[in-house]
Amino acid sequence: MVKKVSVIGAGNVGATAAQRLAEKELCDVVLVDIVEGVPQGKALDLAEAAPIEKHDAHLVGANAYEATAGSDVVIITAGIPRKPGMSRDDLLNTNAGIMKSVTEQVAKYSPDACLIIVSNPLDAMCHVAHEVSGFPKNRVMGMAGVLDSARFRAFISMELSVSVENIHACVLGGHGDTMVPLPRYSTVAGIPITELLPPERIEELVKRTRNGGAEIVSLLKTGSAYYAPASAAVEMAESILKDKKKILPCAVLLEGEYGIKGLFIGVPVKLGKNGVEEILEIALTNEEDEALKKSAAAVQSLVDVLKKK
Ligand code: APR
């Protein structure tokens, strides 16, 4: 393949992303993990599926970063899940440490890559990756809005029995309870859902979207969602690799847009070969703007915890 993507963290999200990248024949894939044998084993397993799936992407697994050299895009999923007895701040600091060590290596071997951050807490991890890599802000972005809006789209499709292909949705803000789904900008074949559904049904779908991650966790019992998160990260990577210039909601560093400064937060952006090529500022009602500011405050409080360290 002409393009190369490294996926750091060969767990559920990372391995599924590697599979989707290869099967869409978008690029060669390097899978990296700290656990010996796991990235090698999963890469080999995926390579052995290639003759059946009919793709010629090369897949390699590694524990060191030499193999990632010259990647066009790096998807970072490395991290640990919250363990019993662990506070949110403990998790934040542990994953920030992992993000720091991973980003140092990634930046060393792929100084021109675009970084797609997936590890949680997402918006705070983007800050770490941006600071540690020293990359310009257009090459560091977080995967949250694509997943959150895909969940919203899936719920709208289930509600109206309409093809998911007809549905667009827009979700702004941080990746958490304070995310801001925007029904006015969510459409079915171009028709805003506010014209198709009563407000109380929309509110139910909005609530389910906000709770989307937790709903999966409570069903799986161990572990969190990974099929849709992997699909979302790969959609972002594809838009960059093919210079498609798709408009997707991503966590990016705002510097005054939406009245927010110095924070990574989810807004619609254009993704092309240069990464984040444009930040789109859409008009918000007072209520929507307030919800976005509240979400920004929640992200800020996590970033403040990191700064205290
Ligand atoms: N370097 C490389 N890999 C690491 C490191 C490290 N320093 N620390 C942990 N890992 C690896 C783990 O060994 C594991 O294989 O990261 C992988 C994480 O995989 P899972 O535990 O299966 O987690 P997953 O479901 O893939 O989620 C990854 O994405 O959606 C978010 O909240 C989720 O932060 C989590 C991340």
Same domain? 126 vs 75: yes
What pLDDT sits at residue 198?
Answer: 97
Query: What separation in Å is there between the alpha carbon of 37 and the centre of ligand 1?
Result: 15
CA 82 / ligand 1 centre spacing (Å) = 11
> What length is written for the chain?
309
* pLDDT-based confidence at residue 309 (cuts at 50, 70, 90): low
* 115 and 163 co-located in one domain: no
- Three-state DSSP state, 117: strand
List the residue whose alpha carbon is closest to atom 7 of ligand 1: 98
State pTM to two decimals: 0.97
Per-residue confidence (pLDDT) for residue 97, from 0 to 100: 96
> Which tens digit of pLDDT belongs to each residue from 5-15?
999 999 999 99
The SS3 of residue 215 is helix
Torsion angle (degrees, nearest 10) of CA 153, 154, 159, 163: 80
**Residues 183 and 292 reside in one and the same domain:** yes
Answer yes or no: is the C-beta of 34 below 6 A from any ligand 1 atom. Answer: yes
> Do residues 212 and 88 both lie within one domain?
no
Report, as an integer, the average pLDDT of 60-68.
Answer: 98
CATH code at position 263 = 3.90.110.10
- Find out whether the beta carbon of 142 lies less than 6 Å from any atom of ligand 1: no
| Sequence letter at residue 96 | A
* Ligand 1 close to Cβ of residue 9 (< 6 A): yes
Whether residues 213 and 134 share a domain: the answer is no
Distance CA 175, CA 153 (A): 16
Q: What's the 137 CA to ligand 1 centre distance in angstroms? A: 24
Q: Assess whether 127 carries a catalytic annotation.
A: no
Average pLDDT of the residues in 191-218: 95
| Residues 132 and 185 grouped into a single domain | no
* pLDDT over 70 (residue 73): yes
Confidence grade of residue 86 (pLDDT, cut at 50, 70, 90): confident
Pair 180, 290 in one domain = yes
Measured by CA distance, the residue closest to atom 23 of ligand 1 is 11
Are 228 and 86 contained in the same domain? no
- Residue 251: pLDDT over 90: yes
Q: How much is the pLDDT for 147?
A: 97
Could you tell me which residue, 192 or 89, shows the higher pLDDT? 192
Q: DSSP E strands: which ranges in the chain?
A: 4-8, 28-32, 59-62, 73-76, 114-117, 140-142, 167-168, 171-172, 180-181, 187-188, 191-192, 246-255, 261-272, 275-279
Asked if 180 and 275 sit in the same domain, the reply is yes
Q: Are residues 184 and 128 in the same domain?
A: no
Confidence label for 91 from pLDDT (cuts 50, 70 and 90): confident
Last residue of a domain, one of 111, 143, 175: 143
On the question of pLDDT at 144 being above 80, the answer is yes
| Number of structural domains in the chain | 2
The predicted model gives 141-146 an average pLDDT of 96
Percentage, residues of the chain above pLDDT 90:
90
- 8 lies in which domain range? 4-143
- 177 — pLDDT class (breaks 50, 70, 90): confident
Percent of the chain exceeding pLDDT 70 equals: 99
CATH number at residue 61: 3.40.50.720
Which of 143, 175, 209 lies at the terminal end of a domain, its last residue? 143
Q: What is the mean pLDDT of residues 157-163?
A: 97
Residue 255 alpha carbon to ligand 1 centre in Å: 30
The predicted pLDDT at position 46 comes to: 98
Q: Say if residue 290's pLDDT is above 90.
A: yes
Mean pLDDT of 80-104: 87
Catalytic residue among 55, 127, 130, 175: 175
- Ligand 1 contacts CB of residue 193 (under 6 A): no
For a mutational test of ligand 1's pocket, the pick from 7, 8, 13, i.e. the residue with the most ligand atoms closer than 8 A to its C-beta, is 13
Mean pLDDT of the chain: 95
| Whether residue 156 sits in one domain with residue 89 | no
Domain end (from 87, 112, 143):
143
Ligand 1 center to 80 CA (angstroms): 5
Each residue of 215-225: pLDDT tens digit?
998 999 888 99
Which residue, judged by its Cα, is nearest atom 10 of ligand 1? 78
Regarding whether 167 and 137 lie in a shared domain, the answer is no
